[in-house]
A and B are shown apart, each in its own frame.
Chain A
Amino acid sequence: MNTTLRRLASVVMVMFLALMVSTTWIQFFHADELNSDTRNIRSIYAEYGRARGPIVVGGEAVALSKPVDDEFGYQREYTNGKLYSPLTGFFSLANGTTAIEHAENDYLNGQADALWVDRLQNLLTGRDPEGSSVELTVDPKAQKAAWDALGDQRGAVVALDPKTGAILAMVSKPSFDPNDLASHSTKEASEAYTKLLNNDDDPLVSRATATSYPPGSTFKLVTTATALESGDYTPDTVIDAPSTYTLTGTKTQVGNFAGTSCASAGEMTLADALRISCNTAFLGLGGDLGADALDEQSEKFGYGSGYDIPFRTAASQYDADPDSMNTAQVELSGIGQGSVTATPLQVAMVSAAIANGGEVMQPYSVDTVRDPQLEVVRETSPQSLGNAVSEKTASQLTDMMKSVVESGSGTSAQISGVTVAGKTGTAQHGDNSQPPHVWFTGFAPAEDPQVAVAVVVENGGDLGASATGGSVSAPIAKAVMEAVLNG
């Protein structure tokens, strides 16, 4: 019987081998597919049952997971939901994740490859796994100042550290409270989401990074930069500044703000044209410079691509197809109208680049990621995206922007004791029946810039049709810059 016993032992080996293969098949080769099966609620349980790391601003958690006694174990809470939602985004059982909650998910839930040592320790010690904390670059005072100054108006504020690209403030209004979406009741969360989605004011969309507006006169900075970089212009170059400008090949006449003429002589220096934001001068300048030069210069400032800050932003655009623009369109683009669109982040990046001697910095909102033992796992180092303009051009632009705030269209951004450089914008949109979107962008202090800012207020804000960038947006920018400088 020993022969048959040995054969039986071989049969047993084959049986066990089959079990090992089938187990390996499920647990190793097939695991990803099974884990992503929609009927597999454990990935959701796992995600929502973890002690997810907090999102920290200025040493305080603005998003954190608190233990609760329900089937999941942890509830995500946002301490100042509406204020920070353009950055934090939401973490919702029913609606998924957005913004930082989405982009930093692997670190927040502790599953990032870089955290394997932590996970190994957890496995060996039986310690509960915890997510890493994500610390933002945001200055809570600047954020609060921007929120308060914007008031009930629709719009957005972005403030950057021009030297690093770090985002100091990012506000969008109207905003939403991510707490409503974080409810573990799928019904409640879905209803809240549907309500926000159907809201005409689009509170779910971050106006700071996801909405592209016509940049209006703030784009004159790009036009001026193009002119100075061409070598054919200096700030003192005298250019045509008629009281009205007929777009080439059309009968459309474009005037200046409130129908005033820029200069009695019908011409003025480039510096003066920027200071008072003379439309007719920049229409002609835009046409003279041409679509290619403007497109190229705008891309150097960052137009044409989105940024991972770490969540993806919308790309700003000079024109979808600059080669097929007619002269009238090119002329209009010189004053930031027509086909030009920009996010508030992009407008702030232009000011930041000028403030930073022409060097464009990659914008970012995550400063450090720390594991539960507070060890730094990841730290963002500032990254250059190249030079948009020469240092000389940057300094010339800075001087011109200083005079905008000193004696031009942006005087209400003045801060006592601090030299502020800036540019206003009053952008028409749609069929012109609605009040303009009003802008201000700038930086301070001009001689050693600490903060660059962009403010947009939709449809003139509280002032409506009579609003200008100088009257509505400049004071908001001032408040934000003050908050950073006094911080």
Chain B
Amino acid sequence: MSAAVETPAARQVEPTERRPARLAELFLLILALAAGIGAFAMVGRSVTGELPGEFWPVSLLLTAIGVAAHVVLRLRAPWADQVILPAVVLLNGLGLAMILRLELAGMQGADAWSQMMYTALGAVIAILVVWFLRDHRWIRKLTYTAMLVGLGLVVLPLLPVIGREINGARIWVNIAGFSLQPAEFAKIAFAIFFAGYLVTNRDTLALAGKKVLGLQLPRIRDLGPIIIVWAASLAVLVFERDLGTSLLFFGLFVAMLYLATERFSWVLIGLVLFAAGALVAASVFPHVGARMDVWLHPFDNELYNAAGGSYQIVQGTFALAAGGLFGTGWGEGYPYLVPYAFSDFIYSSLGEELGLTGLLAILLTYLLIVQRGLRTAVAVRDGFGKLLAGGLAFVMALQLFVVVGGITRIIPLTGLTLPFMAQGGSSLLANWIVIALLLRISDNARRPSALPMRGTVAQGGPMHDPIVVGAADGSTPGAGTPAAGTPVRRSAAAVGDVSGRDGGQPTEAIDPATGRPRGGEHL
């Protein structure tokens, strides 16, 4: 833990440049809080005619969370992206308002206060991550631990006693009265594992193999990991009956594989494998096939009336249609007619009351977070950070696609939920952790480097923060494009390599995360 965690020496190389005051973040945060708190008030007024009892505690707590996170970022990650936190607070606030609205309308299961508590817990964990994790590269040490944890989490719902099947999908566990959706945490574990694994093995995966029809095909023996992940994803599809979770893990892997190897052939192989697997599963396993039918013909009366049929998706579609362009307004619609309107179908609830305008704004807010995450990946200088930030940003986009695509029938409906908005502790905790990691990486990426001049050795030595790297962009080794924010290229050899590729020989490089030579890291 010593390498990446703050050391006195690291402080010495902290640039003397003024730290950003993060006023943009503060301003956006005020807007986000105003939108959320305003929504709480309107929800109460139109449903019960008065301010709901939860108004002050929820408003104050949400404000406290936003302010606390803002202050911690100022102190510990002053260069971190300033848009991500307000965007998350906005989404979280609007989600809370909708859950509160459904609870006030008497909907069974909607519980705004519990959602608030999980939000607070998620925010506290995120704050702790930002506070104690001074360098994201430390996480690389956890590569194989993350794999085990991830696999464990995926298998968890299949275990007897604790595994729960809700809405036909077995992606829940129940431990001591608390329901958990392990997939939410597994996605973080897998992102860490894939980032660590791929940053080490990308060259083998990318360069070996024959070229067929313009596609660089990988060697058969390198296909091992992708086959394993593919099999695991299909197992999730078949045994946990959830296309979304399955798609989430597999999509994450394929995207990160592509990021790391820059080989489109991987994407193609991945997509073909997944489509073929899904088709076979749909024809062999009746429950998968039934879900496909519901997806393709939801308005068929027989499916509509069937148990576990298309009732929910059809009602959700009605809710969206009822919202129209501008929505009914907070508290004026009938979102509670849709089963799970506060969790799986919060998107249709928001669509009914805020309309197409509201949903497009929400989608754009998510897009903003995702694109900021991807921008962080572009800017960060180490390969592991790039893969991790890229993977986390993409998995959020993918989750949104799977959830919203399921509700709007681009793909079959799944049991995943909308990050930050849907009611559910696992989803909130996991996604706040994702945000914390993105903010941490973004701080490292945007921090002005106290870069030593060419040929000199930085104070504090190679292990210290901020560690200077050369062109982190693995796609253009030796090309003329300087990586973002790095005024000096190819100085990495002098100060220590972190990307494993950009300065010197990868096999000889010292892994800053493990302190071991990287050559030893292979599956």
Residues of A within 8 A of B (CB): 1-6, 8-9, 11-13, 15-16, 18-20, 22-28, 30-31, 33-35, 37, 39-43, 45-46, 49, 122-123, 126, 128-129
**Of B169-177, B207-215, B311-319, which stretch is located at the interface?**
B311-319
Nearest A-chain residue to B258, judged by Cβ: A4
Q: Which residue of A lies closest to B391 (CB)?
A: A8
Q: Is the CB of A4 within 8 A of B404?
A: no
A3 and B476 contact, CB distance less than 8 A: yes
Complex contact A1–B259 (CB within 8 A): yes
Partner of A4 from the list B334, B351, B363, B475 (CB cut-off 8 Å) is: B475
Contact B351 A1 (CB under 8 A): no
Give which listed residue, A16, A27, A46, contacts B320 with CB less than 8 A.
Answer: A27
Q: Which of B259, B314, B330 has the most CB of A within 10 A?
A: B259
Any A CB within 8 A of the CB of B378: yes
- Once A8-B258, A16-B397, A23-B360 are accepted as A-B contacts, the answer to whether A30 and B321 lie under 8 Å apart by CB is yes
Neighbouring A residues of B401 by C-beta, 8 Å: 15-16, 18-19
On whether A4 and B259 interact (CB within 8 A), knowing A19-B410, A23-B359, A39-B304, the answer reads yes
- Please tell me if B494 contacts chain A, counting CB pairs below 8 Å: no
A40 contact set on B, CB distance < 8 A: 318, 321-322
Nearest-Cβ distance from residue B47 to partner chain A, whole angstroms: 10
Please, which residues of chain B bring their CB within 8 A of the CB of A23? 320, 351, 356, 359-360, 363, 404, 408
Q: Are B337 and A45 in contact (CB under 8 A)?
A: yes
Q: Which of chain B's residues 383-406 have a Cβ closer than 8 Å to chain A?
A: 383, 386-387, 390, 393-394, 397-398, 400-401, 404-405
Q: Which residues of B contact A11 (CB under 8 A)?
A: 255
Name A's interface SS. helix
Specify which of A5, A16, A27, A122 is in contact with B356 (CB 8 Å cutoff): A27
**Given A26-B408, A31-B322, list of 18 further CB < 8 A pairs?**
A1-B383, A1-B473, A2-B483, A4-B475, A5-B390, A8-B374, A12-B370, A13-B367, A15-B400, A19-B400, A27-B324, A28-B356, A35-B318, A39-B304, A40-B318, A42-B319, A42-B334, A123-B329
Which residues of the partner chain B approach A35 to less than 8 Å between Cβ atoms? 318, 321-322
Q: Which of A5, A9, A18, A31 touches B386 (beta carbons < 8 Å)?
A: A5
| Chain B, interface SS category | helix
Interface centre among A8, A22, A43, A45 (most CB of B within 10 A): A8
**Chain B: which residue is nearest A43 at the CB level?**
B322
Query: How far does the Cβ of B254 sit from chain A's closest Cβ, in whole Å?
Result: 11
Partner of A16, one of B255, B258, B367: B367
Residues of B contacting A25 in the complex (Cβ-Cβ under 8 angstroms)? 408
CB within 8 Å of A: which residues of B? 41-42, 45-46, 255, 258-260, 262, 299, 304, 314, 317-326, 328-334, 337, 351, 355-356, 359-360, 363, 366-367, 370-371, 374, 377-378, 383, 386-387, 390, 393-394, 397-398, 400-401, 404-405, 408-410, 472-476, 481, 483-484
CA separation between A24 and B323, bound complex, in Å?
11
Assess the B386–A20 pair: CB atoms within 8 A: no
A-B interface contact total, Cβ < 8 Å: 156
Contact of B332 among A13, A16, A129 (CB under 8 A): A129
Q: Smallest distance from the beta carbon of B83 to chain A beta carbons, Å?
A: 15
Once bound together, how far apart are the Cα atoms of A13 and B393, in whole Å?
Answer: 12
The answer on a CB contact under 8 Å between B476 and A26 is no
Q: Is the CB of A128 within 8 A of B46?
A: yes
Interchain CB contact under 8 A, B45 and A126:
yes
Interface pair B259/A31, CB less than 8 Å apart = no
Q: Can you list 16 A-B contacts (CB < 8 A)?
A: A1-B260, A1-B387, A4-B262, A15-B400, A15-B401, A16-B363, A18-B401, A19-B410, A23-B360, A27-B356, A34-B322, A40-B322, A41-B337, A42-B322, A126-B42, A129-B332
Q: Which residues of A contact B351 (CB under 8 A)?
A: 23, 27
Residues in A neighbouring B400, C-beta threshold 8 A: 15-16, 19
CB distance A26 to B394 under 8 Å? no
Q: How far is the CB of B380 from chain A (nearest CB, A)?
A: 10
Asked if B356 contacts A24 (CB within 8 A), the reply is: yes
Query: What CA separation (Å) do A27 and B332 show in the bound complex?
Result: 17
B320: A residues at CB distance < 8 A: 23, 26-27, 34
Are A5 and B321 within 8 A (Cβ)? no
A63 to chain B, nearest CB (A): 23
Within 8 Å CB of B41, what residues of A? 126
**CB atoms of B324 and A1 under 8 A apart:** no
Query: Is the pair B329, A126 in contact by a Cβ cutoff of 8 Å?
Result: yes
Q: Are A18 and B405 in contact (CB under 8 A)?
A: yes
Query: When the two chains form their complex, are residues B355 and A5 in contact, meaning their CB atoms are under 8 A apart?
Result: no
Compute how far the CA of A34 lies from the CA of B298 in the bound complex, rounded to whole angstroms. 12
**Least Cβ–Cβ distance between B482 and chain A, in angstroms:** 11
Residues in chain B near residue A128, CB distance under 8 A: 46, 332
Residue from B255, B318, B383, B475 in contact with A37 in the complex, judged by beta carbons closer than 8 Å: B318
- Is there an interface contact between A19 and B405, defined as CB atoms closer than 8 Å? yes
Of residues A1, A16, A22, which shows the largest number of chain B Cβ atoms within 10 Å of its Cβ? A1
What B residues does A45 contact at CB under 8 A?
334, 337
User: Shortest distance in angstroms between B320's beta carbon and chain A's nearest beta carbon?
Assistant: 5
A40, B316: Cα distance in complex, Å: 10
B317 and A8 within 8 A (CB): no
Chain B's closest residue to A41 (CB) is: B337
Closest to A122 in B: B329
